[in-house]
């Protein structure tokens, strides 16, 4: 049973670059105790509060960006230099601080090591998704880094 569940988690996490959240695990019926067991065994690796990487998936810069967005909640998106890296703008990369914009009226805090931007105005046209990563649109990203 435990191996089957670990396999299910591995399969589900592929859609999110190898990541799962506590909400995903709850949906799969993983108890808090079983989650602790999976972490202790090394099957799940904590990335941020409430976000885990399945050990079968190697760590990557894009995965770290998505982990920060997942930890910050639904009202967040990669932005500024991080969004430029996600969009693969020339001279942009994903090595360094992760920039997130928290979309009003977001009240959550971003995880440690993340630079938070709280734009006064950010509407849905300014947002996009690059693969599984919520990110500011290319046009908004250019404005943010200008």
Q: E strands along the chain, which residues? A: 19-21, 44-48, 51-54, 76-78, 98-102, 114-117, 127-130, 133-136
pTM of the model: 0.91
3-state secondary structure of 119: coil
What does the pLDDT look like over 100-137, one tens digit per residue?
998 876 666 778 889 989 887 788 899 999 999 999 99
**Could you identify the residue written with the tokens 């914009």?**
101
Q: How far is CA 70 from CA 25, 33, 66, 89, 111, in A?
A: 14, 22, 6, 23, 10
pLDDT of residue 49: 92
pLDDT digits (tens, 9 = 90+) for 26-76: 999 999 999 999 999 999 999 999 999 999 999 999 999 999 999 998 889
């Amino acid at each position: 049973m435990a191996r089957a569940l670990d396999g299910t988690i591995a399969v589900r996490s592929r859609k999110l670059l190898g990541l799962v959240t506590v909400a995903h695990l709850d949906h799969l019926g993983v108890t808090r105790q079983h989650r602790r067991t999976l972490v202790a065994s090394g099957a799940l690796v904590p990335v941020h509060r409430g976000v885990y990487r399945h050990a079968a998936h190697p760590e990557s810069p894009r995965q770290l960006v998505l982990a920060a967005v997942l930890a910050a909640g639904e009202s967040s998106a990669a932005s500024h230099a991080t969004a430029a890296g996600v969009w693969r703008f020339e001279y942009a990369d994903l090595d360094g601080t992760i920039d997130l914009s928290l979309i009003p009226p977001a009240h959550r805090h971003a995880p440690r090591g993340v630079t938070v931007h709280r734009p006064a105005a950010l509407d849905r046209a300014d947002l996009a998704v690059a693969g599984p990563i919520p990110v500011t649109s290319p046009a908004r990203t250019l404005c943010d880094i200008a």
